[in-house]
Chain A
Amino acid sequence: DAGVTQSPTHLIKTRGQQVTLRCSPKSGHDTVSWYQQALGQGPQFIFQYYEEEERQRGNFPDRFSGHQFPNYSSELNVNALLLGDSALYLCASLEVSRTDTQYFGPGTRLTVL
């Protein structure tokens, strides 16, 4: 059983560019959350998707947007990149009706120059 997968593993962009990160949840999981982990800090909640809709959002600007597809996979889009967006972006999934445990992917390391 494959766990949560994310792509790409590393990404380098320049300020002002746009980026798309991808996540495939663990098999059977219908809910995907995204977290940003800056260097030396704990992960911060960005948003959560369930049934292809954004259900909750953390304290992040509208430059951060997302999408969930019918197969439950998800994308995180960040527009107008800033240097401060450099971080490890983590995806987590769970099946809401069956578990309260979120499983995390390996993350995408984004560097903004």
Chain B
Amino acid sequence: AQSVTQLGSHVSVSEGALVLLRCNYSSSVPPYLFWYVQYPNQGLQLLLKYTSAATLVKGINGFEAEFKKSETSFHLTKPSAHMSDAAEYFCAVSGEDYKLSFGAGTTVTVRA
């Protein structure tokens, strides 16, 4: 079975500041890890994914995440926040069964 824990339900950052969203996973098999973003009243959009290739994964909109097996972590970062980054972010894990298990989500607000 797989699960993820997102640390911090709400993150507030200033425009131009670093965005750091934390995710720890638990998996009995080599995991596939994902970060999705959800804007109000919309579905989920894939930001990036880790599937056992490079441990540093680059995604869309300037986001990246690093897979650290020793820490069972897959934290999401963006060097400089933009107002358009305000949204809900979900970390998710699956095995080869493609059944996604999501975290509870982290709401990001960006201050001007």
On A, residues with C-beta under 8 Å from B are: 4, 31, 33, 35, 40-45, 48, 56, 58, 90, 92, 94, 96, 100-107, 109
Is B105 within 8 A of A41, CB to CB?
A: yes
A-B interface contact total, Cβ < 8 Å: 57
Is B43 within 8 A of A101, CB to CB?
A: no
For the complex with contacts A31-B98, A35-B100, 7 further pairs of A-B residues with Cβ separation under 8 Å are: A35-B102, A41-B104, A41-B105, A42-B102, A43-B90, A101-B49, A106-B43
The residues of A that contact B102 with a CB separation of less than 8 Å are 35, 42-44
Partner of B98 from A33, A35, A106 at Cβ < 8 Å: A33
Number of chain B residues whose Cβ lies closer than 8 Å to a Cβ of chain A = 23
Partner of A33 from B43, B49, B99 at Cβ < 8 Å: B99
Answer whether residue B18 sits at the interface, using C-beta atoms and an 8 A cutoff: no
Is B105 within 8 A of A48, CB to CB?
A: no
28 residue pairs A–B, Cβ–Cβ below 8 Å: A31-B98, A35-B102, A41-B105, A42-B92, A42-B102, A42-B104, A43-B100, A43-B102, A44-B102, A45-B99, A48-B99, A56-B97, A56-B99, A58-B99, A90-B44, A94-B98, A96-B98, A100-B49, A100-B94, A100-B98, A101-B34, A101-B46, A102-B98, A102-B100, A104-B36, A106-B43, A107-B42, A109-B41
